[in-house]
Chain A
Amino acid sequence: MGKTLFDKIWEQHRVREEAGRPALLYIDLHLVHEVTSPQAFEALRAAGRRVRRPERTYATMDHNVPTDPRPFQIQDPNSARQIEVLAANCREFGITLYDLDSPHQGIVHVIGPELGLTQPGMTIVCGDSHTATHGALGALAFGIGTSEVEHVLATQCLWQRRPKTMQIRVEGHLPEGVSAKDLILYIIGQIGVGGATGCVIEYAGTAVRALSMEERMTVCNMSIEAGGRAGMIAPDGATYAWLKGRPKAPQGAAFDRAVADWESLAGDPDAEFDRQVAFRAEQIAPQVSWGTNPGMVTSITGTVPNPSEYHDPVARRSAELALEYMGLRPGTPLRGLAIDRVFIGSCTNSRLSDLETAARYAAGRKVAAGVRAMVVPGSRQVKAEAEKRGLDKIFRAAGFEWRESGCSMCLGMNPDILQPGERCASTSNRNFEGRQGRLGRTHLVSPAMAAAAAIAGHFVDVREWPH
């Protein structure tokens, strides 16, 4: 029987596997940030252990960092302490750190691919659930907890039970105005937030192949929102073209040799998956979430559902609680729903192409009165590149705040948060209760939908909007 992309990477990284036990898997790249690592380093130190492969370990600061104009001061002493502790740990253990002063600082899942650290065929882990982002380049990348961070620091390996494989095929063409974000929100709406639990997802089909690398990252990023262990897309010409010349990618002849290796990773035609689902791209419209998990989503032409339509009592109760929290009534059309805040950013949608798309909707227009809108580039590189192209001027002229890079209002560990009751159009990945601030109400959308909502003051169907 043929092998899937996942099977091939898994088999190349098995250090040890016995029947009935988890495999000991070698980890090629370990990414570290300030929030989920301090306890791991502390335990390592307490046990007198060292970092086995500091040269395979890279760190940055993203979750806590302020996004105010530089030079900034970190006001919260606890945030400041986490950042200091990470710097001290990296010094002590010899780990490369892209700190606040580095031109490469940014959200860990933005800078990995940007620097060329992320490469096809690699196993990649990070103490962060959105590590699946890196799967867009054909890597097996997944999030781990802090004890596992410690384990990888000490051994460069992890015990892993072989996950199931799930193929999600999307054929056809995405309509104009429908983005990669809409595609993944639609998929999660269809299969549910537990739809891929225990599985590594491989995205395939003509609509997936047609996505740019940054769009593929958006799709893989949200695999965890369907419960997926990881999400990946087989590398192809677009992957190699994107990677070529990046500082940490192989250079010159070594790059060509690497491509030859990577070419062999694609799944065999007769490979079998444990599960397969398929969708048509033409059926997808711009999406807006209405509830408190990313599976509670509908198209912009839809309405807020009525909980009484759910047969399963647990699902009905979830919908009731979600509507109560979101302050929404059944039957309310999403189109026209007024918003207070707009957040364009996060590891899902803060790359250059996301900002370019948003800027097309903002250009020459003004943010609606009473709406506060912010744009937070995913990394300092993205910010610099965007400024080179004048995007900052477009956003500023339209009344958006143009900020420094970091996770920002995706989770509000820094001062960027919603006030109770505020309704936000957000390009991030989680609309959980309180995620962006206690009692804040998050609607997940694409960068185009967020930018257009900022201008209109309410959700609009971007397919009808000139840009």
Chain B
Amino acid sequence: MEPFRQLTAVAVPLDRANVDTDQIIPKQFLKSVLRSGLGRGLFFDWRYLPDGSPNPEFALNRPEYRGAGILLARENFGCGSSREHAPWALKDFGIRALIAPSFADIFFNNCLQNGMLPICLPGDEVDSLFQAVSAAPGAQIEIDLERQQVGPAGGGRKFHFELDGYQKQCLLDGLDAIALTLQHADEIASYESSRAGH
């Protein structure tokens, strides 16, 4: 997996709470047997009008946010279905990090598994980032994972964010979780034999 250390990118604001994974990537795109190419289905029902043309109102279609690498969102982002197609679609679209007051558990895990960084900040700090981005659409946000800091690029207030030490290391090193687990193959085998009959 590609390591994640720092990121400076345009942040696109999605000002809605409880955005579910059905919305992030609707069901018709789950029929793929591949991980790639899902970006075109990202937020499909919001991004495109029923006639198939792009919805000019939707933030991800606005020219000032073109090339966004960070998604700014509200509470409980990624709730609902466990579909990993949601982070795959975001990643395919170019999003590497997300900032919200809270994320649904499975979505949060799924992001980390794909080298994407979900950042939880208190509501007022997320608010101030929403304000900064709407005051200057297309403005960049910078993230330093090593120092666990995030804020408007090129000066301004930086916010500290929490991330579990293990998850941080996995992102920084781009670790393959399965290879890591297989280092403990002996322990797994002895656990299995100790519980034989269960």
**Which residue numbers of A lie inside 8 Å of B, CB to CB?**
15-16, 20-22, 24, 26, 28, 35-36, 38-39, 42, 47, 49, 52, 63-64, 76, 78-79, 81-82, 85, 127-129, 143-148, 150-151, 154-157, 159, 161, 163, 193-194, 197-198, 224, 227, 229, 293, 295, 314-315, 317-318, 321, 411-413, 420, 430, 432-435, 438-439
Given known A20-B166, A227-B104, A413-B30, contact A317–B109 (CB-CB < 8 A): no
B6 sits at the interface (CB 8 A): no
Q: State the Cβ distance, A236 to closest chain B Cβ, in Å.
A: 20
Please name the residue on chain B nearest to A28 by beta carbon.
Answer: B198
**Cα distance A321–B31 in the bound complex, in angstroms:** 29
Given known A20-B165, A129-B80, A420-B50, contact A194–B177 (CB-CB < 8 A): no
B136 sits at the interface (CB 8 A): no
The A-B contact count (CB < 8 A) is 165
B74 sits at the interface (CB 8 A): yes
Q: State the Cβ distance, B98 to closest chain A Cβ, in Å.
A: 15
**Cα distance A36–B31 in the bound complex, in angstroms:** 9
Q: State the Cβ distance, A165 to closest chain B Cβ, in Å.
A: 14
The stretch of B32-40, B54-62, B63-71, B150-158 in contact with A is B32-40
Let me know if B106 and A145 touch, CB within 8 A: yes
B26 sits at the interface (CB 8 A): yes
Let me know if B106 and A143 touch, CB within 8 A: yes
Chain A hits for B31, CB < 8 A = 35, 64, 76, 78-79, 81-82, 413
Chain A hits for B110, CB < 8 A = 145-147
Q: State the Cβ distance, A309 to closest chain B Cβ, in Å.
A: 16
A-B contact pairs, 17 of them (CB 8 A): A24-B187, A39-B34, A52-B188, A79-B31, A145-B82, A145-B110, A147-B84, A159-B177, A193-B18, A227-B76, A229-B105, A317-B17, A318-B17, A411-B81, A413-B30, A432-B22, A434-B23
Please name the residue on chain A nearest to B182 by beta carbon.
Answer: A155
Let me know if B27 and A412 touch, CB within 8 A: yes
Given known A154-B182, A318-B16, contact A82–B109 (CB-CB < 8 A): no
Chain A hits for B178, CB < 8 A = 47, 49, 150-151, 154-155
- Interface 1/0 per residue, B8-25 and A, CB below 8 Å: 000000011110101100
Interface residues in B72-99 by Cβ distance below 8 A to A read: 74-76, 79-84, 87
Let me know if B27 and A413 touch, CB within 8 A: yes
Interface residues in B150-198 by Cβ distance below 8 A to A read: 164-166, 177-178, 180-182, 184-185, 187-188, 191-192, 195, 198
Given known A151-B177, A411-B27, A413-B31, contact A157–B22 (CB-CB < 8 A): no
B140 sits at the interface (CB 8 A): no
Please name the residue on chain A nearest to B190 by beta carbon.
Answer: A15
Contact of B181 among A63, A127, A159, A434 (CB under 8 A): A159
**Which residue numbers of B lie inside 8 Å of A, CB to CB?**
15-18, 20, 22-23, 26-28, 30-35, 45, 50, 74-76, 79-84, 87, 102, 104-106, 109-110, 113-114, 164-166, 177-178, 180-182, 184-185, 187-188, 191-192, 195, 198
Contact of A26 among B75, B87, B164, B191 (CB under 8 A): B191
Chain A hits for B82, CB < 8 A = 36, 127-129, 143-145
**Cα distance A129–B110 in the bound complex, in angstroms:** 12
Let me know if B17 and A155 touch, CB within 8 A: no
Chain B hits for A315, CB < 8 A = 17
Let me know if A318 and B22 touch, CB within 8 A: no
Q: State the Cβ distance, A113 to closest chain B Cβ, in Å.
A: 19
Q: State the Cβ distance, B56 to closest chain A Cβ, in Å.
A: 18
- The A interface is mostly helix, strand or loop, or mixed, namely loop
Chain A hits for B184, CB < 8 A = 15-16, 24, 157
Q: State the Cβ distance, A420 to closest chain B Cβ, in Å.
A: 7
Please name the residue on chain A nearest to B32 by beta carbon.
Answer: A78
**Cα distance A412–B22 in the bound complex, in angstroms:** 11
**Cα distance A82–B33 in the bound complex, in angstroms:** 7
11 extra A-B contacts, CB within 8 A, seeds A78-B32, A155-B188, A432-B23: A16-B187, A24-B188, A143-B82, A144-B109, A145-B87, A293-B18, A295-B18, A315-B17, A318-B17, A420-B50, A439-B50
Let me know if A35 and B30 touch, CB within 8 A: yes
Contact of B191 among A15, A21, A42, A434 (CB under 8 A): A15
Please name the residue on chain A nearest to B105 by beta carbon.
Answer: A229
Chain B hits for A35, CB < 8 A = 30-31, 83
**Cα distance A144–B84 in the bound complex, in angstroms:** 9
Contact of A81 among B15, B28, B33, B45 (CB under 8 A): B33
Let me know if A145 and B84 touch, CB within 8 A: yes
**Cα distance A227–B177 in the bound complex, in angstroms:** 25
Let me know if A314 and B33 touch, CB within 8 A: no
Let me know if A15 and B188 touch, CB within 8 A: yes
Let me know if B76 and A197 touch, CB within 8 A: yes
**Cα distance A145–B116 in the bound complex, in angstroms:** 14
Chain B hits for A76, CB < 8 A = 31
Let me know if A430 and B80 touch, CB within 8 A: yes
Let me know if A197 and B80 touch, CB within 8 A: no
Contact of A24 among B106, B181, B195 (CB under 8 A): B181
Let me know if B181 and A151 touch, CB within 8 A: yes
Q: State the Cβ distance, A190 to closest chain B Cβ, in Å.
A: 16
Please name the residue on chain A nearest to B36 by beta carbon.
Answer: A39
**Cα distance A194–B100 in the bound complex, in angstroms:** 13
Let me know if A147 and B18 touch, CB within 8 A: no
Chain A hits for B192, CB < 8 A = 26, 156
Let me know if A22 and B166 touch, CB within 8 A: yes
Let me know if A193 and B188 touch, CB within 8 A: no
**Cα distance A431–B182 in the bound complex, in angstroms:** 41
Contact of B75 among A16, A194, A321, A432 (CB under 8 A): A194
Let me know if B113 and A148 touch, CB within 8 A: yes
**Cα distance A156–B178 in the bound complex, in angstroms:** 10
Please name the residue on chain B nearest to A196 by beta carbon.
Answer: B105
